Amino acid sequence: MKNLVAGLTALILLLSCGEKKPTAAELAEAEREYNYRSAMQQYKLGANALNNKDTLKAIEHLEQAVEKDDQNFTYHHWLALAYSMNGQLAEAEEHLKKALAINPNNAESHNLMGSILVDQGRFDEAVVSFRKVIQDKNYPEPKFPYFNLGKCLVKQQRPDQAVAAFEFALRFDPKFYRAYIALGEIFKDKKDYMKMLYYYQKAEPAYANDVNVLFNIGLAHFQLKQFNRAKRYLAQVSILFPPPAIDQPTQKMLQYINRME
């Protein structure tokens, strides 16, 4: 507030240097100009803090930016992002709604809204948000809304549609390995071990020595009665000190294979 008063005083003095006193319109314009510059400064400080993962400082600056310019889409979006990174989902949603009221077609805001809704378990609403992102043909990373849509569809127990969404994500980026993992999990639930194996093996290059990936490849081979290949993967899992939920079935499968030999 002291800075605002000082700034306004300086502007008034400048306007008063002429022969006539400033009009009410001139004073209002001076105040608007000061608020614009002050809001921009607070936004830059907030954005810099957020890029440095200092969410509390980012929120502090961005709140001041919004206070000085409540009709600025960018300020509301970045404040929503800061709140979401700080786990304050209700506040993030509130400011995203304000951002989208100003710019209803912004795909990045719809994508962030979808992520916030997922975190709240509101999958039906999240699907709507991600579909809006997908409709924007200029969105720079289309694999992400398709991937996020797929995760929502899994939560809604719509696996076939989820498969389609993940496969669309892979069309845009064949090295998007998280999508292969997601597909492998769907076919694991379906007990389609051939497809499960295919997708987990596609993910393997990006997950060297990953216990979960190695276990699932070994499990798929085991279910397909490809015991020699299963043993090779399960033996790797065994020496990587897996958690009990993985170690116990690993040892059972290895014992079974050893008895078969």
Token digits of residue 200: 């987990």
156 band by pLDDT with thresholds 50, 70 and 90: very high
How far from each other are the two terminal CA atoms of the chain, in whole angstroms? 81
Q: Which domain holds residue 225?
A: 193-261
> What is residue 207's three-state secondary structure?
coil
5 band by pLDDT with thresholds 50, 70 and 90: very low
> What is residue 233's three-state secondary structure?
helix
Cα 123 to Cα 95, 142, 150: the distances in Å are 20, 19, 11
Per-chain mean pLDDT for the chain = 91
Residue 220's domain is classified under what CATH number?
1.25.40.10
Whether residue 112 is contained in a domain is answered as no
d(CA 136, CA 114): 15
Count of domains observed in the chain: 1
> What is residue 210's three-state secondary structure?
coil
7 band by pLDDT with thresholds 50, 70 and 90: low
Q: How many CB atoms lie within 10 A of CB 33?
A: 12
183 band by pLDDT with thresholds 50, 70 and 90: very high
Q: What is the mean pLDDT of residues 142-163?
A: 96
Per-residue pLDDT at 27:
63
Whether residue 258 is contained in a domain is answered as yes
Whether residue 36 is contained in a domain is answered as no
Whether residue 222 is contained in a domain is answered as yes
Per-residue pLDDT at 23:
81
The 8-class DSSP code of residue 22 comes to P
Q: Looking at this protein, which amino acid is placed at residue 89?
A: L
Per-residue pLDDT at 2:
45
Residue 134 pLDDT greater than 80, yes or no:
yes
Q: Note the helical H segments in 52-158.
A: 55-68, 73-85, 89-102, 107-119, 123-135, 143-155
Residue 4 pLDDT greater than 50, yes or no:
no
Whether residue 108 is contained in a domain is answered as no
Per-residue pLDDT at 22:
74
Token digits of residue 250: 């690993």
Whether residue 21 is contained in a domain is answered as no
254 band by pLDDT with thresholds 50, 70 and 90: very high
Q: What percent of the chain clears pLDDT 90, i.e. is strictly above it? A: 84
141 band by pLDDT with thresholds 50, 70 and 90: very high
Whether residue 236 is contained in a domain is answered as yes
Whether residue 76 is contained in a domain is answered as no
> What is residue 174's three-state secondary structure?
coil
- H/E element, 50: helix 24-51
Query: Which residue in 159, 156, 160, 109 sits closest to 132, CA to CA?
Result: 109
Of 31 and 212, the one with more pLDDT: 212
